[in-house]
Structure formats: C-alpha cells, structure tokens
Amino acid sequence: MRRTHVLASCLVAAALGAGLPLALASGSPAETAPDRRTSAVAPEIDPVTVGLRAGHPTPGTVGRVAGPFDDRFTLTDARLSGGVVTGQVSVTSDVSALLDLQVLAGFYDARGLLLGTAAFDLHGDHETRPGERVRFSIRAPQGVAAQVSSAAVGVPVLVNE
C-alpha cells in the first residue's frame, strides 16, 4: 500500500512539474487544476525591439539601433520632424529582388523615455538595383507626436532573393 502512495506522489509531482492539468480526488467530483503550462522554449526577442526599449537618444536626433541585418544595408538621411521619422535604406549585400523590409522606429520624449513604436513595412517583389534606396516614412503613434523629441530606427526584417 505504501508503494502505491509513493508512486502516486511521484506521478503527481512529475505531472505538476511538467505543467499538466491534474484531476484531484477528494471524495467529491473530480476537479481540474488550473492549466499552468508554459513554453519550454523562451520566446525570441528581436534585438531591434530590445534596443529601442533600452535606447535614450539625445533630443533632436535620430539614433540607430543594432540589428541582425546591419551588414546587409546602409541607412542614410534619417531625420525627425513633427513626429515623423524619414530616411532611406540601401541594400548592399545583393542586387536581387527585395521581398520584405521592415524599418522599426522608437519615439522618445525629451527625457529619453520611450513613448511608442511604429514601423514601415515593404512586402512583395521590389526590384532593387545596385545602390537603389528605399525611402521610408514612419509616423509616431497617435497621441504622442507632440511629445516626440528624438527617435531611433533599426531593421528587424530584410529578405531578398
């Protein structure tokens, strides 16, 4: 009888450790424990998003956040005016069709606190030639444009053939 209790305790501990729901016996109808399953793999966090959260650009400037594709493009003419960041991205690694591009911007107040983020997305075939620039314009999220003092941009998505 004792072995049964030990075995049952081990099974309960293993089930709870794995985050599985467990039916509890208590003399009343079986109840199900709350489902506390979590992913065994931590979600990937994009380095550009992390950089935007950690950034504190100097008022009046547009900073650049490091990302996974920095060796494949150049960023030029980044400017901030009226809560809108503009600039140009030139793909330098290849001259094939540009399939997807995302430029992510963080907008900051005068103290360097992140007010919000917004993105420019280009999807589909965009024929690129050597040195061609893709112009982007990213407006601050609604309600914060008047408070924007600085911005930072990065490229979390760059896909070409």
* SS3 annotation, 47-63: HHHHHHHHCCCCCCCEE
Task: Quote the mean pLDDT of the chain.
Answer: 74
Measured distance between the N- and C-terminal CA atoms of the chain, rounded to whole angstroms: 66
pLDDT at 86 over 70: yes
Share of the chain above pLDDT 90, in %: 45
Q: What does the pLDDT average to over 102-109?
A: 95
Q: What does the pLDDT average to over 64-82?
A: 93
pTM above 0.95, yes or no: no
Res 27: pLDDT: 35
Res 131: pLDDT: 66
DSSP class of 129: -
